[in-house]
Amino acid sequence: MRLATPLAIVVLLAFLAGCGDSEETSTTAPTDRAQTSARVVQLAWERNPDCKPPPGASRWGCSVGPYRCQGVVVDQGWSISCAKPGRSVSFRVQPG
């Protein structure tokens, strides 16, 4: 019985780790489709006035189409993560 609970947790975590589809804009993106899709979300994010960070904020959020995005201030600019059911996209943006 002691082994059953940790084993169940490991199986659940393994299942959850395999769910969904993730994309990143980088030179190591697996496909052209993933790169294009991520770029489309990034462009929509950059054009949406609701996605601009409030003055002095280190974190903020907004919606881009079906995606819900969260921005975080990092040393290189802003790190943005957007997700919708079954898919996520992340990218970095230089403040401008």
Report the chain (96 residues): mean pLDDT per 10 consecutive residues: 58 49 45 75 94 92 96 92 93 85
Q: Is residue 34 part of a domain?
A: yes
Q: Residue 84's pLDDT is what?
A: 94
Containing structural domain, residue 52: 20-93
Q: Residue 41's pLDDT is what?
A: 93
3-class state of residue 18 by DSSP: coil
Place of tokens 């994010």: 45
Q: CB of 88 within 8 A of CB of 66?
A: no
Q: Is residue 4 part of a domain?
A: no
Q: Is residue 2 part of a domain?
A: no
The count of structural domains within the chain is 1
Q: Residue 28's pLDDT is what?
A: 46
Q: Residue 29's pLDDT is what?
A: 46
Q: Is residue 15 part of a domain?
A: no
Q: Is residue 59 part of a domain?
A: yes
Q: Is residue 66 part of a domain?
A: yes
Q: Is residue 51 part of a domain?
A: yes
Closest of 4, 20, 18, 3 to residue 88, by C-alpha: 20
